[in-house]
Each structure stands twice: as structure tokens, then as C-alpha cells.
Chains A and B, each alone.
Chain A
Amino acid sequence: MEILMIVTAGIIISVSTYLLLTRSILRVVFGIVLLSHGVHLLILTMAGLMGGSPPLLTEDASSYTDPLPQALILTAIVISFGVTAFVLVLGYRTYKEHKTDDLDQLRGNGDE
């Protein structure tokens, strides 16, 4: 199960790397979204998957799922949600002002 999750996270992160390196603003934003998903999956997996066990309820539970990584991911999801919304607006405004979404043309020329 862990191996599968790690491979999935790896695939998601490699796809997002590809998207981050493309020239279109919107694809870069999708890359950011996918990257955060991949990272969240990785956190969940790295903390150890305990399929079928509940989070810690009593002190004498024999097997339990560590609730901390889920709390961490929740925080990270909220942050990445806010940041994604901001990047979408920023990308849209950049597109409107510059009349292009090609990052090659947004390179700028040295001193301005």
C-alpha cells in the first residue's frame, strides 16, 4: 500500500514538474495545484499508513492511525487553497495587462 502511494505521489509530482516548466500561465497554475496534492499524499504516506485503524481514542488502543499528519495536511491544504486562488487571479491580471499568457514573452529585457 505504501509503495503504491509513494509511486502515485511520485507520478503526480513529476507531472506537476512538467506543467511547471511549460510556457503557459494556466498550465503553471495547474502545476502548482498538482504539486501541492502530490506533497500532501507524500506526507500522509510518510507518516505510515494504518489501514482500517481509527485515530487514537483511548490510551490502551492496540493499533491506531497517527492523527498528526492529517492535521498537518489539513493546514497545508487550506494554505494551498488560498495561494491557488491568489495565483489564479494574479495570472489572469498578468494575462490582461500583457495580452499574452506565454511566459517566454514575459521574460523582460534586462534593465528597465
Chain B
Amino acid sequence: MNNIVVLLPVLIPFVAGVILIFFKNFSTIQRTISGLAAFILLFSSVFLTYHVYQDGILTLEAGNWSAPFGIIFVADLFAGLMTILSGIVGVACLFFAYKTIHKDREKFYFYPFYFFLLTGVNGAFLTGDIFNLFVFFEVMLISSYILIVMGGTKYQLRESFKYVVINIFASALFLIALAFLYSLTGTLNFAHLAQRIAEAEQTGVFNVVAILLLIVFAMKAALFPLYFWLPNSYYGPPTAIAAIFGGLLTKVGVYAIFRVFTLVFIHNIDFTHSVILFLAGATMFVGILGAVAKFDFRHILSYQIISHVGYMIMGLALFTPYAIAGAIFYIAHDMIVKTSLFLYAGVTQKITGTTDLTKMGGLLRTYPLLGWLFFISAIALAGIPPLSGFFGKFAMIVAGLDQGQYIIVFISLLVGLLTLYSMIRIFIYVFWGEPKIENDKDNPVKIMPLLLPIIPLAALTIAMGVFAEPIFSFSMEIAEQLLDPSQYIESVFKE
């Protein structure tokens, strides 16, 4: 049976993007269409996830060619949750873009590529076929190449050339891994791969392919030691673009790692998952060192992205339902908080004209609302109990203690402390002290329109903390579904 609803989160942004191309010179029309499309997209993702929650995993077979021969889209709870999150991030950054994106950039197809980016991201979440994962990665990457260089300043051109070359290299590695995988198993369908590798027992050359895929996804997810491209390339583009990159793109890599290492390569956990555990520890530690060392709002946030990807991967590496539920909760929390933090950086940049911490100061006096909202998101990121960051981390640390992995628990606690330090440092430098910008008091910049997309994100952060119980039990269900690949396989093959 075909469920067209599975494809909606891919189709809607794609169609919206195509329509938007035709209106490149009409700013108002572009804004109306893109705003509507973003909300419809969010709504359809919620609808899809509700449907999956009610009826179990849904699949769509393109052209009615049944799996494993045809192209297949699979929506399980994890994919559904990820599309909802990408919808939320998409809406928030879009409304921020209305107020901040320069007219010239708007005319040069900002909105179409914004939606093509979302198409690629949602496609990567929903596809049930590893070659289509590659194709949707490319859709996402090509849009991101264009968004990251849009405007063509000197800095952007220089850094995005590196970004593009690194990603092309990663894509080539991805294709090599696919070639090996196809010659070993004769299939590229996730469910079919899971079956065949279970039959063949995952030894020798399968581990090589697993690690090759891990390297590819680690490049996208900015894991240690492949994170070096991220901080500088996320520094160049306008805030709205940096925010959606920071919120979404690395998480697509994380999603791919989760998908492959909970469904396909699960028969040699001692080897693969201990590699992942090591990478998790190294990533979070090196990332936070970068954040502590930098004095620039955006650079700090970029290093925080790297560091927190480590946490998510740590949940996967521990590989118990509780740890994975914690990791999923953490992904949801991180996407929302990271996006909002990048948007704060945009607001303060709008006010002070800089992202250098040492040149800002005293903003709390003129913009108390902005200051306290930032404070909420900052301590949520650090994982202070009533807010969303705490619960995911707590679950992972408890799971780590249960497993006797004391080193990773120690590192994650230390990194949590350093996160708090680096966020509070931003708060002190930016919001305390004497205002350093002249005429600050008499002539405050109107920031209310800019705060409009941030307030719902901050509210979500608080809500995820206060109502952690139902959300965590939902993550628990997702984790159990992920750890039971037979559900996924059966729903694809309709046994």
C-alpha cells in the first residue's frame, strides 16, 4: 500500500522551491509563499509523525515497484521526529531571514534554495535506500554550497571553496563505500542490507565498509577529527543561513550514523560502537576546548555544535534503549537551542555591528528581554535541570554508569561544566558591564521583530524541560523501535 503522506515533507518544499524561482523579483510574493509553505511543511511533518505513531512504520514505494527493487521511502518514528524538528528550525530561520536577509540576496534565489535545502534534509530523513541517501545528501549539499556563498564577500568565497571541496571529497568516499557495499551484498536497500548482512555475519570487509561510511557521515556531522571545516565556514554567511546550517546540517550526518549503526551494521558492536564511543569523547572534548579558546560569538557557537554532536554519538555508542532515548531527546533539544543561539548572535550583531565578544557589553540595560531569553537558552545548552538540556544528558550519563563506561561519563560531565563556563562567559561579556556602543540608550534598535522567531524556540526549550516526562517516553519508544530492526524490515517487506 502506498502512503503519499510519507512523501509530503519532501514534496512540499520541493514544489515551493520551484514556484519561488518564478517570483525572484517580487519580494512580497516570495515571502508570502515561503511563509505559507514553511508552515504547511511543519504541519505535514507533524501529521506524518502522528500517523506513524498511530499505525506503525509507513512506507511509500515509488511507482509501486515493491522493495527491494524499487525506490522506497520509509517513515519511522525517528525519521518523523527529525522532519518535525527540521520544520521547526525551517520556520524559525525563515522568519528571521525576512528581517535580516539583504534585498540583493533575496533576489538571487535565497528562498528557492532555502526550500531545496529542506527538501534534501527531509529526503535524507525519509529515504529507505542508501543510494537515495547519497542523492538527497547531494541535493542538500548543492543548496548549501549556494546558500553559504550567497552574497559573495571575500571571506565567504574563500571559506566556501574549502567547504565545497571537502564535501565533494566526502561524497566521493560515500560512492566508494556504496560500490563496496553493492558488490558485497548486491543491494542498497536499508532493510535488505540489514537482512543480508545479518545472514553474512558482519566480519572483515563489512567492518571496512562500516568504518568507511562512518568516516563519510562523520565528515558531515563534524566528528573528531573531521570537524576542522566547520567553524570558519559557518562564520561567513548571514545569520539566518548560519542558524539553519548550525541547527540542521550536522544533524543530518548524525541521523545517517544513527540509521546505519542501528539498522545495518549491528552485528559487531564491540568493534564499531567502541570506535564511535572514542570519537564521541574526543569530539565533545576537542569541540569544547575550541569554544573556550575563542572570543567570537559565532566561533564559540560553531565549536559548541561540534562538542554537542559528541553527546548524541555517545548515546548511540552506549547502545542501550535508555542511552539512545537520551540521545534522541538531546538531538531534539540541541536542534532547537542551537538554532536559537545562532539567532541571538544575529540579533546582537544587528545591535552592535560585531560578533567579537570584547567589543560588546551592557546590552542587558537596553535590551532586558533579549538578555534573559539568551540566558534561558544558554543554561539550557549547558544542561541546567529545569530546562531541556538536562534530561537527555542525564539519561545518557546514567546509561554510561550502568555500562561501566566511567571515562566517557567523566568527559561528558567535564564538557558540561565547560559548556556552562563558555555560555556564561558570552552572557557576561555581551550583556553585563558598561555599554560600549555610543548613543545606545537614546536610540535602541528595534529588535522585537527579530525576537519574534526566537521566542517560540525559547518557549519550546522551557516546555521540553517542564514536560520532559511525556517527551522522554516518546523518545523511549523511538529508541525501542530503533533497537528492534525487525520492525523496520517487516514494514518494508510486508511479511
Contact = CB atoms under 8 A, between A and B. Distances in A.
A43 B157 contact: no
Interface residues of A, number: 33
A25 B157 contact: no
Contacts of B158: 94, 98, 106, 108
Contacts, number: 89
Contacts of B179: 39, 42-43, 46-47, 69
Interface stretch (B168-176, B320-328, B345-353): B168-176
B135 A35 contact: no
Given A20-B169, A48-B183, A94 B157 contact: yes
B294 to A, nearest CB: 8
A79 B138 contact: yes
Contact of A90 (B164, B169, B235, B294): B164
B368 interface: no
A90 B160 CA distance: 9
A30 B299 CA distance: 32
A82 B135 CA distance: 13
Interface residues of B, number: 37
Nearest to A43: B179
B355 to A, nearest CB: 10
B175 A39 contact: yes
Interface in A23-68: 25, 28, 32, 35-36, 39-40, 42-43, 46-48, 68
A111 interface: yes
7 contacts: A35-B172, A39-B172, A39-B179, A40-B175, A46-B180, A46-B182, A83-B145
Given A39-B179, A42-B179, A111-B294, 4 more contacts: A46-B180, A83-B138, A83-B145, A83-B164
Interface of B: 131, 134-135, 138, 142, 145-146, 149, 152, 154-155, 157-161, 164-165, 168-169, 171-172, 175-176, 178-180, 182-183, 188, 232, 235, 294-296, 299, 356
Interface of A: 20, 25, 28, 32, 35-36, 39-40, 42-43, 46-48, 68-69, 72, 75-76, 79, 82-83, 86-87, 90-91, 93-94, 97-98, 106, 108, 111-112
